[in-house]
Amino acid sequence: MNDQKVLLRIVQTWNINHKPEYRGFRCVNCQKTIRKGWYHWLITAGYKTPVHFCNRCEKKFRLNKIEVKKPIVKVNRSKFIKFPENIKSKLQKAVHKWNTKYKIFTPFRNPRFLTGFTCDNCGKNMFKAYHIWNIQKGALVEVHFCKQCGNKIKINKFK
């Protein structure tokens, strides 16, 4: 199975929150809380989002040994917040900065190392972030903003 299919199948098991959440980062597969992760792009079937593996799951992924047995969770896209134009614009600008040509990536463009997480808006290192799912050009996109950037656009009023 190709990488995009595996990533998609994993993400399809999530209960994606249509409201922004302020929380730490988790492994895409085992859902263990992580402070550093291996990054991959999921850009297929109506998704455009970075996903992160812990060390153990990254090894399984590279060896094609991930088995996804959980059922698919249907995502109701109509429930996602239709943000005001100022917030929508900030989220779109953050996504516009992404360089999705790398299949495996880190913020430092070196896929051989685990890295921490950075704000999609200001680039600040962080352990927790606002995880903001939104729809852009028909794709479900997850943007990560640090607390300061999220507070500036008042994202917490949508929680």
pLDDT the model gives residue 116: 81
Mean pLDDT over residues 117-122, rounded? 93
pLDDT the model gives residue 99: 76
pLDDT the model gives residue 147: 97
Which is more confident, 115 or 158?
Answer: 158
Burial of 117 (0-12, 13-18, 19+ CB in 10 A): buried
Token pair recorded at residue 101: 């040509």
* Percent of the chain with pLDDT strictly greater than 70: 90
The number of folded domains in the chain is 1
Dihedral angle sign, alpha carbons of residues 137, 54, 72, 45: positive
pLDDT the model gives residue 102: 60
Mean pLDDT over residues 73-89, rounded? 95
What single-letter amino acid sits at 155?
I
Q: Which pLDDT tens digit goes with each residue over 4-34? A: 999 999 999 999 999 999 999 999 999 999 9
Q: How many residues does the chain have?
A: 159
Residue 145 φ then ψ, to 5°:
-115, 140
Res 58 pLDDT > 70? yes
Residue 157: count of CB within 10 angstroms of its CB: 8
Owning domain of residue 59: 3-158
